[in-house]
Structure formats: structure tokens, C-alpha cells
């Protein structure tokens, strides 16, 4: 694939790097409790609030992307993200945090599905659609490099300048990303079918594509349940390490390890999948590894088992997520891609709206119980929503 100064690839890589500069992650819980003066129950309510609005906004914003253009949807999403971090880092009040999470949800919804669709359709217009899986995997790795760099830096910033400063620092890359995306060329492929349809028809077709496509539906449901392992590990590892007596200064480095593991396994996704022999083996083994790593924390709670889970779920789990996204794109027509992917993301939000307060409640009483509950979700996917029956070819095929 040749380099194009006006192409999408380098822009998407740059966008992924900027999106990965999340300085706030190292001191996230101290930010909420010490600077924001809110309880852990309120923290989990904020996450449910975020997912609720992301759910409500998913389909409308997907229609915007399909009707008016992917790049404008993604750029507007970056702008909302910038405003969210700015509000978060300025006002230490629960009400302000609610506003910040609403802006974050709007930004997520505007970018969800649209960013992947922008990449796929731009590559297709450049006659390079076969590179999507490789570019998407590498872009994920680039985002992880940014996360690896930013997590320890964020911990240093928080300790030296204040717990809210990492939030303010994270706002800057989001603003830069707005201008990077706006310089991209909107692919005509993405607009051809959509311009001839009413908004409601676009939304209906996207939802219908998800409902009636068995392969897509199975990939999505399986992926969502297994994804919860990585999602809740990020929320649970800090209180678990605090219970084990580990100093907070090390949390940023452990968060960086999560990102590093994801980068290693996702950078060469075809090679990672080939190592396991087949797509089905890859998906089954990564699911099983997620379950076992969480159960080890339950049975043998220690810094070692937590770090082991960070490596396994951060690496194999995130490589699994990237591969599933690639296969789902193959199942969706171009003119319905952004809306259909938004439908999948909407379903993910519904699940998290329910699970966030549930896991938070369990964790308040027993962190072991919370880890056990999350591992059971992946087990449900492994047993009741297997990918064995799908005709999935290896990424490198």
C-alpha cells in the first residue's frame, strides 16, 4: 500500500494516537473521590448515566453519519469530547460531572461506528479495502502506544499539579483531533445510497441489518459479553490493588501495562490469529483465557494475579475485540455500515447501563464477588453464544 498525503490511513493513525492520550486514567478513582468529593456509588451512577445517553444517542448520530458524512460526525464527536474533559477538569461538583458525562456520551455516539465506517469506505474508494483489517489493527496499537505513554505521565501530573490537571491535559488532544479529521476527504461511497433515503429509512435498514443477519448478531452478542471482562477489570483493579496495599503511584504503570499488552497482540492481528490456527480457536481460547484470569483473582487475590489478568485481558481480550469488529464490517453493506454499527454499540450500552450499578453494588460488598460475576458473563458467551457454527475465515485469508 503506497503512502498518500491526501489519504485516510495516516490521518486515522494520528487520530488513534490522539484518542489514546488519556492522561486521566492513572488517577481516575482518586480524581472522583478526592477532588470531586463523590462516593463510589455516585461514580458508578455516572457510568450508567454515560451509557444511558450513549444508548439514546446511538441511532440518531448514526443516521447523521450516514446522511451528512462520516468525517463531520467524527469531528463533532471529538469536539464534544474536548468539552467533556474541560468541564470535568474545571468544576468539582457532581452536577457538573453529569453534564460532562452527557457531552462524553454525545461524543462517543457521534464517533461510534462512524470512525470505522470512515476508514473502511475511504480505503474502499482508494481501492485498498483489503487493508482495512491491518490498518484498523495497527491503529489500535498506535492508540495503545499513546495510552502507554500517557498513563504514567498522568500519574506524575496528578501527584505534582493536582488530580484534575490530567483531565485538562486530555482535552487538548481531543481538540487537535477535530482539525485532523476535518482535513480528510469524505468518501463518495458512503454518500451514494444514503442521499436518496429518508432519515427514518436509514435507521430502519441499519437495525434490520442487525436483526436479520445471524452471523452479525452472534458476533455482536458474544463480543459484548466477553468485552465486559476488560471493561470491568479497568474499574475493579484499582480498589483491588488498594486492598492489597499497593501504592497509588504504581497504578498508572499497571494501566500502561494493560495498553502495552493490547498493542503487542493487536499490532499484527493476522499473525496473532494465525498463531492459534483458526478463527474459531482464536475466539474460544481468548474467551476461556478471560474467564480463567478473572477467576484467579477470585481464588488467589494478589498483585501477581491482578497483573496477570491485566496482561491476558489487555492483550488477548483486546485483540479479540479488534478481530470481531473487522468481521462485523464484512457483514454490513456500505450504505448501512455506520447505522448498523451504531445499533451494535447501542446494544452494548444497554448491557452496561444494567451492569454498571449491579457490579458497583456487588463490589461495595465484595470485590471477589464482583470479579466472579464478571467472569460468569464471559462464561455465558462461551457456552450459550459460541462462534463455532459461524463460517469465519482467518483474517489473513
Q: How many residues does the chain have?
A: 397
Q: Is the pLDDT of residue 210 over 90?
A: no
In a domain, 205, yes or no: no
Co-location of 151 and 221 in the same domain: no
Residue 103's pLDDT band (cuts 50, 70, 90): very high
Among candidate residues 199, 225, 258, the one where a domain is terminated:
199
DSSP 321-374: HHHHHHHHHHTS-GGGHHHHHHHHHHHHHHHHHHHHHHHHHHHHH-HHHHHHHH
CATH number at residue 183: 1.20.1250.20
- Predicted confidence at residue 389, as pLDDT, reads 61
Domain boundary among 199, 227, 261: 199
Tell me how many domains the chain contains. Answer: 2
Q: How far apart are CA 10 and CA 135, in angstroms?
A: 10
Distance CA 174, CA 104 (A): 11
Co-location of 192 and 233 in the same domain? no
DSSP alpha helix (H) spans, the chain? 9-20, 28-30, 40-68, 70-90, 94-111, 114-125, 132-161, 165-182, 188-192, 199-212, 214-243, 251-267, 269-275, 279-299, 303-312, 318-330, 337-365, 367-384
Q: Are residues 16 and 52 in the same domain?
A: yes
Query: Please, which pLDDT band fits residue 3 given cuts at 50, 70 and 90?
Result: very low
Q: Is residue 344 part of a domain?
A: no
pLDDT classification of 89: cutoffs 50, 70, 90 = very high
**What percent of the chain lies above the pLDDT cut of 90?**
31
Is there a single domain that holds both residue 239 and residue 327?
yes
C-beta of residue 316 within 8 angstroms of C-beta of residue 265: yes
Looking at the structure, tell me whether residues 291 and 170 fall in a common domain: no
- The pTM assigned to this predicted structure is 0.76
Does pLDDT of 2 surpass 60?
A: no
Chain-centre distance of CA 224, in angstroms?
Answer: 11
Q: Is the pLDDT of residue 321 over 60?
A: yes
The region of weakest confidence among 21-35, 177-191, 217-231 is 177-191
Answer whether 141's CB lies under 8 Å from 263's CB.
Answer: yes
Q: What is the mean pLDDT of the chain?
A: 83
Q: Are residues 219 and 195 in the same domain?
A: no
Query: Is the confidence at residue 1, as pLDDT, over 80?
Result: no
Closest listed residue to residue 72, CA positions, set 226, 228, 187: 187
For residues 148 and 260, state if they share a domain.
Answer: no
On whether the CB atoms of residues 31 and 157 are closer than 8 A, the answer is no
Query: What is the pLDDT confidence band of residue 5, given thresholds at 50, 70 and 90?
Result: low
End of a domain among 199, 223, 245? 199
Residues 314 and 176 in one domain: no
Same domain flag for 113 and 31: yes
**What mean pLDDT is predicted for residues 332-346?**
74
The reply to whether 348 falls in a domain is no
Question: How high is the pLDDT of residue 90?
Answer: 95
| pLDDT bucket at 203, cuts 50 / 70 / 90 | low
Residues 283 and 380 in one domain: yes
What pLDDT score does 381 carry?
A: 85
Burial classification of residue 82, based on how many CB atoms lie within 10 Å of its CB (0-12 exposed, 13-18 middle, 19 or more buried): buried
| Mean pLDDT, residues 359-370 taken together | 90
Identify the burial level of 196 via C-beta atoms within 10 angstroms of its C-beta, where 0-12 means exposed, 13-18 middle and 19 or more buried.
Answer: exposed
Same domain, 180 and 223: no
pLDDT, position 333: 73
On whether the CB atoms of residues 151 and 217 are closer than 8 A, the answer is no
Residue 193 is predicted with a pLDDT of 42
The half-sphere exposure of 270 on its side-chain side, counting CA atoms within 13 A, is 11
Do 295 and 376 reside in the same domain of the chain?
A: yes
Q: How confident is the model at residue 70 (pLDDT cuts 50, 70, 90)?
A: confident
The least confident of 109-113, 193-197, 334-338 is: 193-197
Pick from 5-14, 176-185, 240-249: least confident: 5-14
Domain hosting 284: range is 214-331+366-397
How many Cβ atoms from other residues are within 10 Å of residue 222's Cβ?
Answer: 23
Instruction: Report whether 32 contacts 161 (CB < 8 A).
Output: no
> Which helix (DSSP H) or strand (DSSP E) does residue 27 occupy?
none
Copy the grid coordinates of residue 232.
470491568
Q: Tell which wins on pLDDT, 49 or 333.
A: 49
Residue 25, domain member (yes or no): yes
In a domain, 342, yes or no: no
Residue 221 falls inside a structural domain? yes
Amino acid at each position: 500500500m503506497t503512502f498518500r498525503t491526501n489519504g485516510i490511513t495516516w490521518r486515522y493513525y494520528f487520530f488513534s494516537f490522539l484518542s489514546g492520550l488519556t492522561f486521566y486514567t492513572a488517577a481516575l478513582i482518586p480524581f472522583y473521590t478526592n477532588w470531586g468529593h463523590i462516593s463510589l456509588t455516585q461514580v458508578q451512577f455516572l457510568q450508567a448515566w454515560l451509557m444511558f445517553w450513549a444508548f439514546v444517542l446511538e441511532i440518531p448520530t448514526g443516521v447523521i453519519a450516514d446522511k451528512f458524512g462520516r468525517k463531520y460526525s467524527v469531528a463533532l464527536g471529538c469536539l464534544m469530547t474536548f468539552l467533556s474533559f474541560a468541564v470535568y477538569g474545571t468544576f468539582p461538583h457532581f452536577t457538573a460531572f453529569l453534564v460532562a458525562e452527557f457531552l462524553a456520551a454525545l461524543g462517543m455516539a457521534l464517533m461510534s461506528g462512524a470512525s470505522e465506517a470512515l476508514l473502511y469506505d475511504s480505503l474502499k474508494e482508494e481501492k485498498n479495502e483489503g487493508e482495512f483489517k491491518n490498518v484498523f489493527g495497527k491503529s489500535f496499537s498506535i492508540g495503545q502506544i499513546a495510552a502507554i505513554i500517557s498513563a504514567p505521565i498522568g500519574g506524575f501530573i496528578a501527584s505534582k499539579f493536582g488530580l484534575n490537571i490530567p483531565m485538562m491535559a486530555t482535552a487538548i488532544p481531543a481538540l487537535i483531533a477535530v482539525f485532523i479529521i476535518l482535513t480528510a476527504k469524505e468518501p463518495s461511497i458512503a454518500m451514494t445510497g444514503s442521499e436518496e433515503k429518508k432519515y427514518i429509512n436509514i435507521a430502519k435498514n441499519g437495525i434490520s441489518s442487525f436483526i436479520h443477519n445471524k452471523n452479525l448478531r452472534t458476533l455482536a452478542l458474544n463480543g459484548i459479553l466477553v468485552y465486559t471482562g476488560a471493561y470491568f477489570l479497568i474499574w475493579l483493579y484499582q480498589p483491588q490493588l488498594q486492598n492489597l496495599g499497593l501504592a497509588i503511584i504504581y497504578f498508572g504503570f499497571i494501566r500502561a501495562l494493560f495498553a502495552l499488552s493490547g498493542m503487542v497482540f493487536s499490532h499484527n492481528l493476522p499473525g496473532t490469529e494465525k498463531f492459534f490456527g483458526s478463527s474459531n480457536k482464536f475466539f474460544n481460547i481468548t474467551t476461556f483465557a478471560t474467564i480463567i484470569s478473572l477467576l484467579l483473582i477470585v481464588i488467589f487475590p494478589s498483585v501477581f494475579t491482578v497483573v496477570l489478568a491485566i496482561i491476558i485481558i489487555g492483550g488477548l481480550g483486546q485483540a479479540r475485540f479488534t478481530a470481531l469488529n473487522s468481521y462485523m464490517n464484512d457483514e454490513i453493506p456500505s450504505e448501512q455500515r455506520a447505522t448498523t454499527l451504531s445499533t451494535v454499540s447501542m446494544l452494548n450500552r444497554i448491557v452496561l447501563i444494567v451492569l454498571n450499578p449491579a457490579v458497583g453494588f456487588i463490589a461495595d460488598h465484595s470485590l471477589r464477588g464482583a470479579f466472579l460475576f464478571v467472569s460468569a458473563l464471559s462464561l455465558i458467551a462461551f457456552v450459550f453464544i459460541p462462534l463455532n457454527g459461524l463460517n469465519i475465515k482467518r483474517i489473513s485469508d
